[in-house]
Amino acid sequence: MEPTPKEIDEIKNILRKEGKKDATDEDARDLHYRMVALADIVIDVAVDRARKEKKLKENPDGFPLDNTYTCLLCHDSANQETGWWDKVGPLCLNCRDAVRKRVITRRDIKNKDKAMYTDWELKYYFNIHPATQRKAIRDGRLKARVVENKLGKPHLFVYLIRENQDYLPSPKPGYNRVVRPGDKKSFRAVPVKGT
């Protein structure tokens, strides 16, 4: 879709105001093209969401995914065979079943940045190895909710912050922030090095 001369002038004015004093017609066309492409994506996403919301009204328990998504809880990739569109959004079947069995609530998933850590997040944020986490669970220092797979084996360990308040900082540290021993409310449930 080609911009009209009036649109080109308007975009050039915006670019000039934003500091690009030498904005050309070509710059304006380029930005117009990118804005149209972005708008198309935004519209596609909005239409898709609206369709899913409508389908959820007819199927309150959800329905199989129509595409590949990332599971909201465990972040595994989930597709038509392995995933489910739940009220809360895309989930893998293991996490869906955990919600159905009330191991995890939808409210906690929605609020996950303030409500919980997963096992891989403890590794990511605090470099605590999964084996160290298991030991802390066995010792009763860490309380876990376990999402199981079809075989009844652990798929994901979730640590609710409200059940581990003395140990887990909330909200999560920023991705670039290094948590040091002695930081206020830094992780104290398990030693960071070894067991």
Using the rule CB under 5 A, give the single segment among 24-32, 85-93, 100-108, 159-167 that binds Zn ion: 85-93
Q: Do the beta carbons of residue 190 and residue 133 sit within 8 Å?
A: yes
| Closer Cβ to Zn ion, 27 or 120, answer by number | 120
Judged by CB under 5 A, the residue of 11, 23, 28, 71 near Zn ion is: 71
Lookup result for tokens 């986490």: 133
Angle at 49 between CA 46 and CA 53, to 5 degrees: 140
Q: Is the peptide bond before 171 cis (omega within 30 degrees of 0)?
A: yes
Q: Do the beta carbons of residue 119 and residue 130 sit within 8 Å?
A: yes
Judged by CB under 5 A, the residue of 95, 115, 116, 122 near Zn ion is: 95
Closest CB 142 distance from Zn ion, rounded Å: 21
Angle at 190 between CA 188 and CA 191, to 5 degrees: 90
Closest CB 12 distance from Zn ion, rounded Å: 48
| 93 part of the interface to Zn ion, by CB under 5 A | no
Judged by CB under 5 A, the residue of 65, 74, 99, 104 near Zn ion is: 74
Closest CB 188 distance from Zn ion, rounded Å: 28
Q: Do the beta carbons of residue 117 and residue 172 sit within 8 Å?
A: yes
- Return the number of other C-beta atoms located less than 10 Å from residue 181's C-beta: 9
| 92 part of the interface to Zn ion, by CB under 5 A | yes
How much is the CA Rg of the chain, to the nearest whole Å?
23
Using the rule CB under 5 A, give the single segment among 39-47, 52-60, 88-96, 177-185 that binds Zn ion: 88-96
| Closer Cβ to Zn ion, 10 or 148, answer by number | 148
| 137 part of the interface to Zn ion, by CB under 5 A | no
Would you tell me which residues interact with Zn ion (CB under 5 A)? 71, 73-74, 92, 95
